[in-house]
Amino acid sequence: MGFDLAFALSSVPTILGAIGTTLGVAFVSCLGAAALGFLFDMLRRIGGVVGLAIGFVIDFIRSTPVLAWLYFLYFVLPFYGIRLGSLTVGVLGLSLYYSGYLAEVFKAGIDAIPKGQSEAARALSLSRRDALIYVIAPQMLRNIAAPLGNYFVSILKATPYLAVLAVPEMLGRAFDIASETYRYTEPLVVAGLIFLVLALVISHGVKRLERRLLAVGAR
């Protein structure tokens, strides 16, 4: 049989047609993971029992596979009468799973700001709110920009997991073609290459961004 290049090329438009779904899922999941991760890190900073509990939740998430979380949400939520589309469940699963990682990104990004920065803001009589908006937040955003970009790539590469929930993203499209034609190799290779190119291009962009931020940020 071998590899049929013409057939592979003919599958490209169908698979690429789902690139919007793939990128959209990745983007929304990344936002969700960032929001939840930020919340986790803030709650962890409260300390005490709350801090310990949140720390354990983060450890638990990081010790369990994303596939298990997707099954968990997909089958458990309906058991409690919560009926969501598979796309929503997929986005929720990716957001939850990666929030455990982004909580650490926020932790590192905030802890890397020297204590002297907020002290200087206080010595200049800036209000707490102004210190947060003009001194702390911009430095935190700069610290997390590159790791956040790298996690966006990770999330993007995890979107094909949603094929197991029958979400019509690119891997799902590739399997649709495969099951119609009984030829698996070509559509899967095409889907794999598209993901590889996407990941490499975005990673390259993140690296350039990182270099630019470093150039201005030397203390």
Which residues bind to another protein, rule: CB under 8 A?
Answer: 1-3, 59-60, 62-69, 71-72, 75-76, 78-79, 114, 116-117, 119-120, 122-127, 130, 134-135, 138-139, 142, 153, 157-161, 163-164, 171, 178, 184-185, 188-189, 191-192, 195-196, 199-200, 203, 216-219
Q: Provide the 10 A C-beta neighbour count for residue 116.
A: 9
Please tell me the distance from the alpha carbon of residue 139 to that of residue 198, in angstroms, as a whole number. Answer: 29
CB of 128 to another protein, least distance (A): 11
What is the DSSP code (8-state) at residue 131?
A: I
- Residue nearer to another protein on the CB measure, 3 or 42: 3
Nearest CA-CA partner of 191 in 24, 1, 19: 19
Min dist CB 60 to another protein, Å, is: 6
Nearest approach in angstroms of CB 122 to another protein is: 6
**Nearer to another protein by C-beta: 134 or 166?**
134
| Ramachandran angles phi, psi of 10, nearest 5° | -70, -20
